[in-house]
Structure 1
Amino acid sequence: MKITGCWSTFPFLMLCLLLYGTGGSTSFDKITTNELRCLEKEMALSFKILKYKEMELKDFQRELDNLNLTEPLHRFFNPKGTLCKLCQLLIGALKKRTIRVENIARAICNIYIALSTWTLDDFCEDIIELNMPIIEYVLENSEIFSPELACTILLQNDKCYYPDSALTWRMSTPSTSLVKFPQVILRQNAKRLKILHLSDFHITPDYEIGGISNCGYPTCCKKGLGNPIGSKPAGVWGDYECDVPPWMFGTTLDHIKYAHKDIDIVYFTGDIIDHTVWQASKEQNSRLIYYTYKALYETFPNIPVFAVIGNHEAAPLNAFAPPDAPVNESLSTQWLYTLMSKAWRPWLPPDALKTVKRQGYYAHSVNKKLKIIGLNNNVCYNLNWWLLYNTAYLSEQLKFLSDELLKSEQNEQFVHILAHVPVGNEECIEPWEENYNAIVERFSHIIQGQFYGHTHTDELKIFYKNYSEPINVGYNGGSLTPYTKFNPNYKVMTVDPDSYEVIDVETYIFNLTEANQHSNLTPNWLKMYSMQEAYGLNKLSPQNFDQLVDDIFEDENLADLYWRFYVRFGDPSLEDGCDRKCKKDLICKIVTTRSMFPSKPNCR
């Protein structure tokens, strides 16, 4: 059974860590087979498993019987609601220390393997070992930790929402009486800017040509990983279930350098490290981060590169500690921020590097008319365990963003915002999404583009005022990695040199199946589409995109086109297909920048 969406982490692993206990027994006799199947499906959805296989009902019921419950499950049965109740009961037990986290490690692997399509589980305990010190610190020291808070953050759905004060705080935005519109003098025949948008490299240093691409682990094609019996060999240029070989990364940079000699600026929206997250370490990540930025600098020696941090750059994955938390060096994220302040030194001035070293964010004026603001919004990701310790530290970057936008407004300067995680996908927690949306609404007249990555998909985000008036647009960079079932891509944006609005976006891909069939040749990159041409848009304005969404809802062929672009014509994705509900979900993501609150009525 297919679960739509992008599986890019192990969200369900540590959620299971909080959900499943040992000992005790509960009667499930009054729950029907259909209800159990429904609960199983909702678990897989909450765990964000791209595909799941149905468990034997007796096995599934046995795992449920191991839950440490004090009341019959059927009394509060509702798929999402039940999952929420289980979460609260188990986290309450963890908080009281009546359940030891270590004792449930084996149960994690049982559930993980049972629902997933993978066949090996020896990486589970490695992930637990990596994350355990943070979880233990949070349990011991958090002043906000509660079952309601934790389950609202971890499950991120409307059936498990509690307006905890740690989630409902709001910041004030500058008064609208201060609004100042930049004066724009459009120069005839002025050269348009070309901005290269790269995202989600996920480079695998130990990629093995002819290695095992169906190895039984979450990501494959690595030396020594998996059982060679009955295996499918990894191609020279990559695999739809694997990450990027270093030579494919290098060849891509060489191709861009010679095919697009008119590039003026490079945006990179994060994620360098591959998906072997159970092997992540500060030392390995540091080496690959250094290697990547050195390659970008050498490929584009005279072109500024503006980048942001991806959630995979941290070790362990997703862990971005509050900068002022009283933690030892092993739990701090300072190593990553210090590393980035060195890696980005060729392109950012000392003042910008100070905030990079502080928490991985910055602002830099390219000229008097354009400012780049790079955010480290991985801090808002619901799988960042530090959110269970403190959510107030999110305000630091949000205030920085608001202050920098106000300065730009006063100086009649336009702004491009770079971030890794898009809002509205039930991943960024409420304080960030609500405050970020309020800031975008206040300064939409100077924000000429938002650029992000993370999902690996070719998608858009439309921001609205009062859920009705389109005011701003965000563009996803897709991914160089084909993981999972996509063709590799990069984008080239044409930007007006006076207003800095995006005029057009061209997406380039190569077909991975074809490239591996002709492995002695470099991949055949081609233009997949121009946004203006494909959708018949004379301008990439929020209003035109809003009308496009309405048209997609009415036109099945247009919806199919958007989906094909979304998966970048990846052969396995096209083979899987996307039914009407799948396409509706993709379209509704466009108009959702506050999770669970889409702006279009037919998405609610």
Structure 2
Amino acid sequence: MREDNLRVLHISDLHLDSKYTPGSEANCSSELCCHMKPESNGSTITQPSGYWGTPAVCDIPYRTVENMLQNIQKLGKIDYILVGGDYESHMDWTYTKENHLETIRNLSTVLHKYFENTPIYWTLGNHEGVPVDSFAPHYIPEKYRPQWLYDELQQLEGPLLDMKSIETVKYRGSYIVQLHPGLKLISLNSGYCETSNFWLRINETDPDGTLSWLVAELKQAELDGQYVHILSHIPPGDGECLESWARNYYKIIA
């Protein structure tokens, strides 16, 4: 185990908006503001959106994230980066697989641009689902499952995963890696506890055996005398996580 400190960059909930337009209306009645809409031509804008972002019902443009990473890079070496989910904008009901993949790949490109040799570990947020919050377990017909998303997650991690973790991430969107001697990382797909994941209404009992998998990995880490860093998106104690799943999670890690 390392005796010196690790420097970790953890970013989450970026909600990137490719349609963000500076100077557009930030005070609107739509699902998401700061978009230039054809019907707004000629109308008076009451709250113009800013260049980098706006404290309103708006998400942020890519340039803001790139500027953030550019400045973080100047602070010195980062040992590894954790990317905590929710990469897509809040235009929930316009989601498509193609747009999601484009957003994830664009974010990956800019991360590697500024942290070329730094390991980057991803997890999935509820906004990665298409539709939003949708993560169909394996008891649901294949055409509804987010296999496209799990495959993309596996591609993002690339050579950082061994064969066992590749199989795991392609099955349930979770994985485990050895960060350093004595320290492992578990990326846990919390989409299986999302209260709005309607597929869980069919069966809420440990979807895809994810908590059982977590138990086995933590037990092995304990036997090996290793610490574990868990990366996930939805806090189990939050109202967005199913109570039964959260209770079992806390029993496992306690």
Q: Higher relative CO (CA 8 A, sep ≥ 6), structure 1 or 2?
A: 2
Alignment of 1:12-23 (within 5 A): none
Matched, 1:280 2:95: yes
Of the three residues 17, 22, 38, the one matched with 1:204 is 17
Q: In structure 2, how many angstroms separate the alpha carbons of the residues matched to 1:303 and 1:224?
A: 40
Matched, 1:269 2:111: no
**Which is higher, the Rg of structure 1 or of structure 2?**
1
Q: In structure 1, how many angstroms separate the alpha carbons of the residues matched to 2:212 and 2:27?
A: 46
The amino acid that maps onto 2:212 is: K
Q: In structure 1, how many angstroms separate the alpha carbons of the residues matched to 2:212 and 2:38?
A: 45
1:204 touches 1:222 (CA, 8 Å); kept in 2? Answer: no
The amino acid that maps onto 1:386 is: W
Question: Which residue is 2:73 aligned to?
Answer: 257
Q: In structure 2, how many angstroms separate the alpha carbons of the residues matched to 1:323 and 1:261?
A: 43
Q: In structure 1, how many angstroms separate the alpha carbons of the residues matched to 2:4 and 2:252?
A: 31
1:219 touches 1:276 (CA, 8 Å); kept in 2? Answer: yes
Question: Which residue is 1:440 aligned to?
Answer: 253
Q: Could you say if the C-alpha distance between residues 203 and 358 of structure 1 is closer, same or farther in structure 2, counting changes exceeding 3 Å?
A: same
Shift, 1:415, TM fit: 0.4
Question: Which residue is 2:122 aligned to?
Answer: 307
Question: Which residue is 1:386 aligned to?
Answer: 199
1:237 touches 1:248 (CA, 8 Å); kept in 2? Answer: yes
Shift, 1:323, TM fit: 2.3
Matched, 1:403 2:216: yes
Shift, 1:294, TM fit: 2.0
1:322 touches 1:390 (CA, 8 Å); kept in 2? Answer: no
The 3-state SS of whatever aligns with 1:373 is strand
- TM-score (normalised: structure 1): 0.40
Question: Which residue is 2:189 aligned to?
Answer: 376
Instruction: Please give the per-residue CA displacement for 1:397-421, whole angstroms capped at 9, x wherever unaligned.
Output: 1011110011111110000001100
Shift, 1:223, TM fit: 3.0
Question: Which residue is 1:354 aligned to?
Answer: 167
Q: In structure 2, how many angstroms separate the alpha carbons of the residues matched to 1:192 and 1:250?
A: 26
Q: Which moved more, 1:210-219 or 1:376-385?
A: 210-219
Shift, 1:393, TM fit: 4.2
The 3-state SS of whatever aligns with 1:231 is coil
The amino acid that maps onto 2:137 is: P
The amino acid that maps onto 2:107 is: T
The 3-state SS of whatever aligns with 1:256 is helix
1:394 touches 1:432 (CA, 8 Å); kept in 2? Answer: no
The 3-state SS of whatever aligns with 2:158 is coil
Q: In structure 1, how many angstroms separate the alpha carbons of the residues matched to 2:39 and 2:229?
A: 43
- TM-score (normalised: structure 2): 0.93
Give the percent of matched residue pairs that are identical in Structure 1 and Structure 2: 34
Alpha-carbon RMSD: 1.8
Instruction: Please give the per-residue CA displacement for 1:265-310, whole angstroms capped at 9, x wherever unaligned.
Output: 1111111000011211111111111111122122211111111001
Q: In structure 2, how many angstroms separate the alpha carbons of the residues matched to 1:323 and 1:257?
A: 41
